[in-house]
Structure 1
Amino acid sequence: MEKEIAPIMTEHWEKAEFPFHAIPKLATLGLAGGTTKGYGCPGLSLTASAISAAEVARVDASCSAIILMHAALVIPAIDLCGSEAQKQKYLPSLAQFKTIGCWALTEPDYGSDASSLRTAATKVPGGWHLDGQKRWIGNSTIADMLIILARNADTNQLNGFIVKKGAPGLKATKIENKIGLRMVQNGDVVLNKVFVPDEDRLPGINSFQDINKVFAMSRIMVAWQPIGISMGVFDMCHRYLKERKQFGAPLAAFQLNQEKLVRMLGDIQAMVLVGWRLCKLYESGKMTSGHSSLGKAWTSKKAREIVSLGRELLGGNGILADFLVAKAFCDLEPIFTYEGTYDINSLVTGREITGVASFKPAMLVKSRL
């Protein structure tokens, strides 16, 4: 990452273009298959996969995001919810980055309330017709395959479908003018009677609870992204303060700067321990949705504080993407939001520790009663 990605990431970040020529080299890291065993996947422990994701994010958050779309969403969805034939057909090429996939759940009107999505799946002879819209779908404009989550018109339950690039009725348009994760190609997806054959429906997705099986792992992985970003910011600030001089002394010699570095380091150590604990809870079968939601919410909030301190420490250079910190400052914002906003993840944990769900405003609940 430091040799191949660090020298080129600022240019591509500014242009909002992903360095696709680097994908074969990213593939050699062996991280795309994540924890999946067999089918050309590495079968890493969740702990190893999470730490690796953090090390990638330490250099560049966009690269970690594209890997996680494969390792923590697309591949686990097929591995956990797909048929044996689907696993053999799709997993090997995804694990080697020979094909790129994306996960399409969020819609223009349904973000945090994703379980209320409207994209419809209607049964037709030999398959299904998908109609609807998706938004904020990473890699959608360049993906070879899309996993579309849609509502079954007959059962009203959520189902999963594998849609191929170029399918008639499928259109993906890049979302412009993002301030964070600019190298990731997020898009609006429109589906107009897109036909999906029966063999490309994921048989293991029949409810939002089934989707949560995938999220259980991905939320942990996303919790490690802010950890990696924070480590990268600390590295940059530590080096910068020792090299740059003001008033005849290195910036590292000033007490206020040392205090900020120590605060950053202490928070990073705590974040690593929270991430580590999440992995061990998952691997022992004891992790709950409250655990993963708390971890993701807390690490992303702490990372926000850390990169803010880093921007202060670099002064004017702190607003230049050349020095990593400004880019990290921006890249953290979408991570703070996706896989559950800080508020929603807090409410998931709050529901678990109190036994009371508070997702809908009290006035709305009262009116329905």
Structure 2
Amino acid sequence: MSNIFSKVRNAIEIFKSIDLDELSKISGKVDLPKMMEGFSKMNDKQIKMLMRAIDPEKKKKELPPVNGDFYGVFDTLTDEQKEIQLKVRNFMETEVKPLVNNHWLHDSFPFEIIEKFKQLNVCGVTYEGYGCPNLPFLMEGVLAMEMARVDASIATFFGVQSGLTMGSIYLCGSEAQKEKWLPQLQKFEKIGAFGLTEPEVGSGAAGGLTTTCKKTEGGWILNGQKKWIGNATFADVIIIWARSLDDGEVKGFILEKDNPGFEVEKIKGKMALRIVQNGLITLTDCFISDENKMEHANSFKDTGNVLRMTRAGVAWMATGCARGAYESALAYTKTREQFGKPIASFQMIQGHLVEMLSNLTAMQTMVFRLSEMQDAGMLKDEHASLAKVFCTLRTRDIVSRAREVLGGNGILLEYDVARFVADAEAIYSYEGTKEINSLIVGRSITGFSAFV
């Protein structure tokens, strides 16, 4: 009996929401007693659907915000650090996000954002002097994550500029070279690139570089090719690593774009990081003066110091890509309706979301600790390698699940997830493959080197 009274009360509430004039119009069109009888036969779900149809805004459920930081990892940042984080996030959301899908589709770079990047004043974020902010390594990671959360290509562009190019000069250059190049690169007055990988040499760069350098009067002669060099098609300066024909050691050079013997060809047909302008560089009897030989770049150990510093950034970038995919998928499931309700209310969808969030939370806590170790001077190759292995693997899983919960829309650029899916494949491979980084960690924990 109480159930019938409850339904009648619901029916009365429905009629209260209808204007009397409207009710008189309805009475001429329908049999009201029969309608009341129909109300009494409705179940609770049908009553709720009817109420929603009459007043869709009434008692609208307030949903929790979309936030990938489930454990509040970044709540521990200082107020100053949070301000920088939010400044970069706002820049990426307002200035970059509206542009990236179109540029990704057309394999082009949004050059208009370079001028706006200058205003952020975050390039060379961890370096001391030369106009650089001199912030902790933790902030370098946070900024990489915030950029990759919107677009991994732009994060890569920035990482090449701020990390690999400026980092090479900062760690390996003479004081004169630092004073000449770092302020210009920090202000984006010059764009940089980093040339290590070759057409036939990727993981074996430590002992197998085929690009050569030979000392000559007043400088060096370089010959060879470099492949997959980000920013190369429009860079003003390119860091080139080459094996010396005199002593077999790897040397580092600052190559300027108008240098005779230097040519670059854009790599086309990529399925990932399509906004990054990768180039195939050819050096033919390319003369580089002694002035542009980096003073402290005289072995692959020096190259390794640069890579160790930036490999942590790639783990952060993978985390950002994963966070962007998770947050995009979560937002989508709250608004996408099937069978009369948001798909976020379905058990299987919630299962995917929780798996994604679990991995993302583990990644965020891992890279946060990694950067704390870096700031404390505790970072070793194996620490950065483990983070790179784990985070890129988990990113692959997260973007796959994000694509799954979006269904057919998961392959459309307009929903962003498709871009995250593709870009995750590039992050998985560059800065050392899973296998090579796994062997670095394996050597550390077993004491045996499994490298061939």
TM-score (norm: length of structure 1):
0.96
Q: Per-residue deviation at 1:24?
A: 1.1
* Matched ranges for 1:113-132 at <5 A: 113-115=204-206, 116-132=208-224
Aligned mate of 1:316, from 393, 408, 416: 408
Aligned mate of 1:295, from 362, 387, 392: 387
Which AA in structure 2 matches 1:52? L
Q: Per-residue deviation at 1:34?
A: 2.2
Structure-2 separation of matches of 1:17 and 1:209: 35
- SS of corresponding position for 1:38: coil
Q: CA RMSD in A?
A: 0.8
Counterpart residue number, 1:363: none
1:105 aligned to 2:165?
A: no
Structure-1 separation of matches of 2:114 and 2:223: 32
Counterpart residue number, 2:59: none
Counterpart residue number, 1:271: 363
Counterpart residue number, 1:164: 256
1:224 aligned to 2:304?
A: no
Aligned mate of 2:239, from 140, 147, 153: 147
Bigger share in strand:
1
Structure-2 separation of matches of 1:21 and 1:236: 25
Which AA in structure 2 matches 1:65? T
Counterpart residue number, 2:423: 331
TM-score (norm: length of structure 2):
0.79
Aligned mate of 2:112, from 12, 16, 21: 21
Structure-1 separation of matches of 2:343 and 2:230: 40
1:248 aligned to 2:340?
A: yes
1:79 aligned to 2:170?
A: yes
1:40 aligned to 2:123?
A: no
Structure-1 separation of matches of 2:118 and 2:348: 42
Q: Number of aligned pairs? A: 360
Q: Which runs of 5+ in 1 are unaligned?
A: 361-369
Structure-2 separation of matches of 1:43 and 1:284: 15
Structure-1 separation of matches of 2:153 and 2:128: 25
Q: Per-residue deviation at 1:72?
A: 1.5
Aligned mate of 1:283, from 362, 366, 375: 375
Structure-2 separation of matches of 1:109 and 1:81: 26
Structure-2 separation of matches of 1:44 and 1:282: 12
Counterpart residue number, 1:367: none
- Of 171-180 and 114-123, more deviation after overlay is shown by 114-123
Q: Per-residue deviation at 1:306?
A: 0.2
Aligned mate of 1:91, from 178, 182, 185: 182
Counterpart residue number, 2:150: 59
- SS of corresponding position for 2:246: coil
Counterpart residue number, 1:188: 280
Counterpart residue number, 1:208: 300
* Matched ranges for 1:173-184 at <5 A: 173-184=265-276
Q: Work out whether residues 31 and 67 of structure 1, in 8 Å CA contact, stay in contact via their aligned partners in 2.
A: no
Q: Per-residue deviation at 1:197?
A: 0.7
Which AA in structure 1 matches 2:361? Q
Structure-2 separation of matches of 1:47 and 1:228: 14
Counterpart residue number, 1:5: 96
- SS of corresponding position for 2:93: coil
- SS of corresponding position for 1:28: helix
Residue deviations 1:266-325 (CA, integer Å, cap 9, x gap):
111110111011111112122211111011110000000000000000000000111110
The alignment-based identity, stated in percent, is: 45
Structure-2 separation of matches of 1:11 and 1:102: 24
Structure-2 separation of matches of 1:70 and 1:176: 21
Q: Work out whether residues 36 and 75 of structure 1, in 8 Å CA contact, stay in contact via their aligned partners in 2.
A: no
Residue deviations 1:39-60 (CA, integer Å, cap 9, x gap):
1111121001110110011011
Structure-1 separation of matches of 2:303 and 2:199: 19
Which AA in structure 2 matches 1:271? M
Aligned mate of 2:433, from 314, 322, 341: 341
Counterpart residue number, 1:365: none
Which AA in structure 2 matches 1:53? A
Structure-2 separation of matches of 1:42 and 1:241: 40
Q: Which runs of 5+ in 2 are unaligned?
A: 1-91
Which AA in structure 2 matches 1:322? E
- SS of corresponding position for 2:284: strand
Counterpart residue number, 1:262: 354
Q: Per-residue deviation at 1:124?
A: 1.2
Structure-2 separation of matches of 1:254 and 1:114: 49
Q: Work out whether residues 32 and 68 of structure 1, in 8 Å CA contact, stay in contact via their aligned partners in 2.
A: no
Which AA in structure 2 matches 1:47? L
Structure-1 separation of matches of 2:172 and 2:119: 26
Which AA in structure 1 matches 2:99? I
- SS of corresponding position for 2:94: coil
Q: Work out whether residues 234 and 264 of structure 1, in 8 Å CA contact, stay in contact via their aligned partners in 2.
A: yes
